[in-house]
Structure 1
Amino acid sequence: MELTPRQTEFADAALRLLARDGMASVSFRTVAAETGMSLGAVQKAFPTKDAMLRVMFARLREQASAPALAEPGRPTLHEWLVDLMVSVLPLDIPRRNAELQGAAFAERAAFDPEIAAAVAGSDHELRAAIARLVHRAHAEGEVPATVEAEAVAWAVLAFMQGMASQLLYDPLPEDAVRRQCRWFVDALLRR
């Protein structure tokens, strides 16, 4: 999606509003106030609120494009999965904001097929990357062949999403989260 600098500025302001005050706080008027621009400037940049929401979502996906999907090199699958989880869980303000923003769009996906397709596509990419690494761990003898790669991928994503949601309202220190992630990955990989 090709964005103008003004659209980018407005979308980023709207994402800040969303993280701070929720999706209901995002309007042309509040985005104008957040940026110090006129209401007309926001309306000129986006013909509809849905258009603004789609640009916000595009910006969120761009900012959150997963370095997690990169080849992890040679750490063990176990360590890579634990590090992946800890790196994306809302354990600080930027990751908390990203989780709040992502959760708002995940909720919207139930009613917007375009956003649903994008969210599902991101989930599919992450599950595919995890499954590839499980297959590699099979070949290298790190995990038993009876550990199903696709099941591991689905379970990891579900665990991450559930834990992220809980950490928004019941924060824990990173070392406690890391222990929970290790326990989960140990059980999943049957270590």
Structure 2
Amino acid sequence: MRKGLGAIIGVLVILALVLVPLLGSYNGFVNAEEEVEQKYSQIENQLQRRADLIPNLVNTVKGYAKHEDKVLGDIADARSRLIGANTVQEQADADASLSNALSRLLVISENYPELKADKQFTQLMDELAGTENRIAVARKDYNDQVTIYNKKVRQFPGRIVASVFDFEKKEYFKAAAGAEEAPDVDFEGNGE
């Protein structure tokens, strides 16, 4: 009877030695995944803030630059794509398009001194600049957290836990192809 009890205790000790680290590793993955999701939601919050600012900015510019319909249309289109994006990459691509269109708008605003002097325009541009900075910080924080998480998924022994419990690598928030290039601004048709 004592041998049987000793064997049972031995098996329980071995199971505990295996299960306790496994549970700790699983909980570490859950925490890391939640951190990634939280960081991603900060990107979404800031992208939404920017999307909410844009209609006011566009309406302010429309009053001064009536013949800049192409740029204003590009902004509206990129904003719609951003709001409708379903994946990290779709958001990154739409974000790059929107940033490109906003850059062209800023260059065009240089042609309208009265627009640059408009209090609402300058306030909106200040808010937009602050939002752009927050987006950049949120992207960096997200990508940093994805790096931590992805290392856990790929390194041993986490790789085993990740495969057993379907923890998969997360996608980085990457700039769209061509985002490193300055936007083209066409002043033809502006009387220049």
Asked if these proteins are the same fold (TM beyond 0.5), I'd say no
Ranked by relative contact order (alpha carbons within 8 Å, sequence separation 6 or more), the top structure is 2
Structure with max Cα Rg: 2
* TM-score normalized with structure 2 length: 0.31
* TM-score normalized with structure 1 length: 0.31
